[in-house]
């Protein structure tokens, strides 16, 4: 069985897309995934599945749409992918909670940074299917505008590291 990490978009953030982590865990178990573990109230799930990634993605999208009325969007990553994202941060000077990694389903277009507006000194770097953003004053006050971020889901570097650790623990069980 393969260990996957699912990163859901817009779940339990700002009062929209409300779905308790207990309900989310139960949903994953109902559709046949095993060893399901959630992490914090923002749609992070580590689990085992027998199917290939595309099939798991489709199954999750369908089940979440049935439960919530529409799918919030699911990005899947492996432990290795999360570890690479954490280890290859282009901003080693950034505090981990001020560095967000936005995970995308597909690589952004080549011109993704042309519409960047970063009035607060934010730094942005694209690496494959991830966009790193260092928010020197925190993301809550930022006026950063980058349309490419809208189709992804972001986690701070501490969360990325924790999810990779949880996936490793599950692989070693």
Ramachandran region, residue 171 (left: φ > 0; alpha: ψ -120 to 50; beta: rest): alpha
For residues 33 and 140, what is the distance between their CA atoms, to the nearest angstrom? 35
Segment 28-45 shows an average pLDDT of 93
Answer whether 0.85 is exceeded by the pTM. yes
Whole-number Å distance between alpha carbons of 117 and 10: 23
Residue 25 contacts residue 18 (beta carbons within 8 Å): no
pLDDT reported for residue 61? 92
Strand 99-103, strand 2-8: pairing = unpaired
Helix (H, G, I), strand (E, B) or coil at 72: coil
- Judge whether 124 and 133 are in contact, CB under 8 Å: yes
For residue 11, what pLDDT band results from cuts at 50, 70 and 90? low
Structure confidence at residue 16 (pLDDT): 53
CATH topology classification for 2-77: Alpha-Beta Plaits (3.30.70)
CA-CA distance, 67 to 59, in Å (whole number)? 12
pLDDT at 14 over 60: no
Q: Is the pLDDT of residue 13 over 50?
A: no
Taking only the tens place, the pLDDT of each residue in 105-163 is 999 999 999 999 999 999 999 999 999 999 999 999 899 999 999 999 999 999 999 99
Q: So what's the pLDDT on residue 45?
A: 95
The pLDDT of residue 12 is 59
Task: Give the model confidence (pLDDT) of 67-96 as tens digits.
Answer: 888 878 899 999 999 999 999 999 999 999
Q: In the chain, which residue ranges form alpha helices assigned H by DSSP? A: 21-30, 53-68, 79-87, 157-172
22 pLDDT tier (thresholds 50, 70, 90): confident
What does each C-alpha distance from 30 to 15, 59, 67, 77 come to in angstroms? 25, 11, 12, 21
């Amino acid at each position: 069985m393969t260990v996957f990490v699912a990163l859901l978009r817009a779940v339990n953030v700002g009062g929209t897309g409300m779905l308790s982590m207990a309900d989310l865990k139960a949903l994953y178990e109902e559709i046949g995934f095993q060893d399901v573990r959630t992490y914090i109230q923002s749609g992070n799930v580590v689990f085992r599945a027998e199917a290939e990634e595309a099939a798991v993605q489709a199954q999750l999208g369908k089940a979440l749409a049935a439960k919530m009325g529409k799918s919030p969007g699911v990005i899947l990553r492996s432990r290795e992918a999360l570890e690479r994202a954490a280890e290859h941060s282009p901003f080693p000077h950034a505090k981990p909670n001020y560095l967000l990694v936005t995970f995308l389903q597909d690589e952004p277009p080549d011109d993704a940074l042309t519409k960047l507006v970063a009035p607060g000194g934010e730094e942005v770097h694209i690496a494959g299917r991830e966009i790193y953003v260092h928010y020197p004053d925190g993301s809550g006050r930022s006026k950063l505008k980058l349309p490419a971020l809208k189709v992804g889901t972001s986690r701070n570097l501490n969360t990325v590291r924790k999810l990779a650790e949880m996936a490793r623990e599950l692989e070693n069980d």
